[in-house]
Amino acid sequence: MLAQVNRVAFELLGLQIYWYAIIIVSGIAVALWLSSREAVRVGLKEDDMTNFILWALPIAIVGARLYYVLFDLAPYLADPVQIFNIRNGGLAIYGGLIAAVIVLIIYTRYHFIDPWLFLDVVAPGVMLAQAMGRWGNFMNHEAYGGETTRQFLENLHLPQFIINNMYIDGAFRQPTFLYESMWSFLGFVLILFIRKNGKIKRGELFLGYMIWYSLGRFFIEGMRTDSLYLFGGIRVSQLLSVILFVGGLVLLYYRRKKSTNIKLYERDKGVNQALI
């Protein structure tokens, strides 16, 4: 029997606390911290991020769960109570991101903030949170790929605890959680580099995030064994990735080449100059 990671971190008053929850919450906290620091540098208020997350977080969780349930409806129709059981996973990143962006648009309109600037501020932190969050899937023994061999995993120079934990349902599995985590982390580094060294317009950091993540997700999703499907065997996340990738490129081109009245993304303002 291989030594595998225990999904339970500890017990509190008889309630099992999963690593999945700890890692997800930690990712959100890191994203909030990074976004709050950057908000001040572009002329927003630090409280804008905190106030936004208080609205966006619960709605994003509902969106992530709703997305997952709608595209895997049969088991939940048979046992509707399980819709509310998120302790075993079942939160789709795309659903959470879509819900959070809707909240962001409403929030920024209400507070007279440029939504593109707000999206730029939160994009790096969100990408880092996604890189961290995939390790929650690892601890939960989910979001893995098809069968492979131990030799293949060892050739990737992975630590033994990862290799052992990839032995699932009688076979070693592709660590797709790790592929996406590394892809997201690399995207986070690239976004920070562009933000520091590039002359960019508002909205371009977020669009870069959207293009980068959807590109990687398309290929990684094709390796997974737990995808949500549409009719004809089409993977939901792959289809959405194509839409986001193409849409991001079109918007980036239009805003960069065709629109002349878009403000630059400027840092170190120190005052609130984010009003449109």
| Higher per-residue confidence, 232 vs 154 | 154
- CA 152-139-100 angle, 5° bins: 110
Indicate if the pLDDT at residue 75 is higher than 50: yes
19-222-74 Cα angle (round to 5): 70
Residue 211 inside a domain? The answer is: yes
Count of the separate structural domains present in the chain: 1
Average pLDDT over residues 115-129: 97
In a domain, 266, yes or no: no
What is the rounded average pLDDT for all residues in the chain? 90
Asked if residue 276 is part of any domain, the answer here is no
Residue 148: which domain range?
8-258
Does 237 reside within a domain?
yes
Is residue 267 a part of any domain in this protein? no
Six token digits for residue 104: 């962001």
Q: Per-residue pLDDT for 91 more than 90? A: no
263 domain residue, yes or no: no
Residue 263 one-letter amino acid: K
Confidence of residue 111 (pLDDT cuts 50, 70, 90): very high
In a domain, 141, yes or no: yes
By residue count, the chain amounts to 276
Label residue 272 by pLDDT band (50, 70, 90): very low
Query: Does any domain span residue 32?
Result: yes
pLDDT at 206: 97
Which pLDDT tens digit goes with each residue over 146-202?
999 999 999 999 999 999 999 999 999 999 999 999 999 999 999 999 999 888 999
